[in-house]
Chain A
Amino acid sequence: MENRDNVKCYFDFTKVFTKTKNYIDIHNNKHEELKKRLNANHRATAELITRLYAKQLNRAVSLGKDIKTQLPGFKTFNPSLATCKGCTTRTIINHKERLKAAGFIIKEIHRGKAGIELWINPLIFDDRVKNLHPLVHEQQEQNNNNSSVDKLITSEKEGVRYEAHKQSNNCVTRTAHEQYMNTEESRISDSENQTWRKKKSSVRESESAFLLHLVLAFWSYARAALYKDLIFCEAEKNEILNNIWASIYKKFRVEGSKKDWENHQIILYKRIDMVSRWLKRNPNRWIPAPHLYFHPENTRNDFRKTHKWYVKQETLKRNIRNQILIQKIEAEWKDHVKSIYKNKAKTGLQLFRLQQQRISVYKDEALIRAFEQSLQRTVLNKFTS
């Protein structure tokens, strides 16, 4: 209580809050049992009640009422407390029960439509509480089992609302808790859920940076190759990156090791090169703007179609390689028959083994089949000639 002059006395909010905190701390120290202790949520309700009560008393003082001899009760409504705290009335009723058991609320009268009247422990609104200051400052949030603080690692990418963790939003109750979220089912109330999330996030933490780097690298490569002249602001860039993440990388839902992703990235670069070459070949060719070209729902002219090109190109390359190899083998057999060049000293079987070894390195069934066919041809030619 603050005496500004002899006539009127005001309640200083800071002092009242300190007293509330001390009262609850002392109560918690005395009781070990969890059901008897006051957790941070009860504390928040107590603080809310104290604040509103102090406000009401100050108003009464300013209106000229004499409250020196006896303090009037705190007149309020359960629903109004609930909306103020951002929870249901049932929670307020439960909290009041707990606070009554702790001796914080000493009396309660229900007045039907006129609401309720609460009498708070006079220690809170009295100077005598000053003597109960602890010697060592105690942390307000200690041993709080319901707290979500430091128990969950969140990242923006996961879609967790950062606003929920902002302390500034909780200035009504002056705690780091999400009071206004209390009306709904708690997102992290389930302990199993918590551990699962923790595990998952710790595993992903190391990978997510790598995966994010892939998306960024892809976009910078594509931009340099395909959209050299265009300028994008931050919002546009973010949209494009999101589209790339969703359409090209399938939101990273496909399981794969780091090496797999690196190989995939190399293929993507090749595909971009193909597109840029395709564009250069004819000035009339065009590709849509990047937000459409990489859009996951664009099925008409999107980047994913280049996968077909890539497969076609790769098969063509392989066929040509096989043809060259077979031609070489056939030439070797011809030279062997004529006993010229380097293979003249070897027997037919030695040459065959050598060629077989050379071909098995490629691990291509089509190549082995073609090799067998070419052998048959050479053998037939040998007999006929």
Chain B
Amino acid sequence: MNTANIPNSSLTKCIVYFKDGNSRTFYSFDKSHRNSKPNKALGIRRLEKMLMHRFKGMWETAIIYENFYKGAELAKYKDGVRLF
């Protein structure tokens, strides 16, 4: 997959509000290999892993949305705890 094209092709995105005041959007990588069918659950799991391991203790709130205009909230995390 072309990494530059990820925001257009990914199924979910995660907006992270860091403790230092910054916020950043991450787009999910939904494929297990190049030609595989996109797996939404896999993308969500990877985002969650990123939050819980890579950015552990660095963020305050994180929300996972469906990656389209006015996409629904799929998961919300506050201080390392999943709220829904």
Contact = CB atoms under 8 A, between A and B. Distances in A.
A binds B: yes
Interface of A: 231, 233-236, 238-239, 291
B52 interface: no
B75 A233 contact: yes
A233 B39 CA distance: 13
Interface of B: 39-42, 44-45, 64, 74-75, 82-84
Contacts of B83: 231
A276 B12 CA distance: 33
Given A231-B75, A231-B84, A236-B41, 8 more contacts: A231-B82, A233-B74, A233-B75, A234-B74, A236-B44, A238-B41, A239-B41, A239-B42
A185 B2 CA distance: 34
What DSSP secondary structure best describes chain A's contact surface?
Answer: helix
B67 to A, nearest CB: 12
Contacts of A235: 40-41, 44, 74
A239 B82 contact: no
Contacts of B75: 231, 233
Contacts, number: 22
11 contacts: A231-B75, A231-B82, A233-B74, A233-B75, A234-B74, A235-B40, A235-B44, A236-B44, A239-B42, A291-B41, A291-B45
Contacts of B41: 235-236, 238-239, 291
Contact of B45 (A231, A234, A236, A238): A236
Given A231-B82, A231-B84, A239 B74 contact: no
A291 B49 CA distance: 15
Nearest to A236: B41
A239 B84 contact: no
Nearest to A233: B74
Nearest to A238: B41
Contacts of A231: 75, 82-84
A364 B68 CA distance: 63
A236 B84 CA distance: 13
Nearest to B84: A231
B7 to A, nearest CB: 19
A233 B40 CA distance: 10
Contacts of A236: 41, 44-45
Nearest to B42: A239
Q: Which 3 pairs of residues, A with B, have the shortest CB-CB distance? A: A235-B40, A239-B41, A236-B41
A292 B50 CA distance: 19
A88 B47 CA distance: 46
